Amino acid sequence: MTTNAPPIGPSGASGTSDYARSLIEWFEDSARDLPWRAPGFGAWGILVSEFMLQQTPVARVIPRLEEWLARWPTPEALAADSPGEAVRAWQSLGYPRRALWLHACAVAITERHAGIVPSDVAALRALPGIGDYTSRAVAVFAYGHRHPVVDTNTRRVIARSVEGRDDAGPPSARRDLEAMERLLPHDEHDGRRFNAAIMELGAVVCTARRPDCDICPVRSLCAWRRAGFPDTGGPKKKVQKRFEGSDRQVRGLVLALLRTSEATQGVSTGAVDAVWHDSVQLERAVDGLVRDGLLARTPDGFALPS
């Protein structure tokens, strides 16, 4: 970590530092116009968006989110439908188990919380499919509570601008949250905006491969910049295995067949067999889908879960 760095943690009566204020002002002028940032966008919509945004680009999420909320505007509406319909509506978002978790979450909200998304982090954390990040994100962005929210972009910005390292290293919930807590303004309103601003900075300016330091609102405070942008030798991100020909591709083809089928009872075994040329790999992919609850065996073939 670099030394003699200017203080960037909360300060003053409002508990909002120059660092935080610079990011907040930049965010208010430059933030992307995203649906879940619109005034009045409800807690259910924010919860759905957080599920969809996990490991999926924003551009792919926006149309699916709009369709989803038009069809299921409340947790009760989704809970009343089948998990198979949730999987069908997930379409090309990837990681389709998230659709099952979101459906289970809607059922739990309906049964435990009278259809109202809870605002308490512990209550949110107890819902199916919700981890520490999502619980805090909903509490902050839907209800305005003051909590540190940390994602990959946040970790990168803190590592560079505060700690002078180009890479954040392996995640550590305790360490990462403590680092964000030290920066978070005391004021709830500023805290919410700062959480969003530091994420946005990492997403569009302080990116992993091509940071645009010339337009960064905290460049004068950045420890990494003052140190001359050293390569601190952090662990490199693992390269994802090739999609073409992978089990992931086969799983996707099988699910696509089921999603587009007009037969409510599912599709035949023969139709599934025709999806892929390697019978051993196909069987492995199908078994995995059944095991994950994304596919159900029927007397004549397969169907989405009911």
Exposed e or buried b per residue across 254-266, where buried means at least 16 C-beta atoms within 10 angstroms of its C-beta: bbebbbebeeeeb
Asked if residues 103 and 79 have their Cβ atoms less than 8 Å apart, the reply is: yes
DSSP label of 5: P
Single-letter amino acid code for the residue at 232: T
N-terminal to C-terminal alpha carbon distance within the chain:
54
Among candidate residues 156, 154, 203, the one with its CA nearest the CA of residue 181: 154
Which residues are part of the catalytic machinery? 50
What are φ and ψ of residue 161, in 5° steps?
-75, -30
Exposed e or buried b per residue across 23-48, where buried means at least 16 C-beta atoms within 10 angstroms of its C-beta: bbebbeeeeeebebeeeebebbbbbb
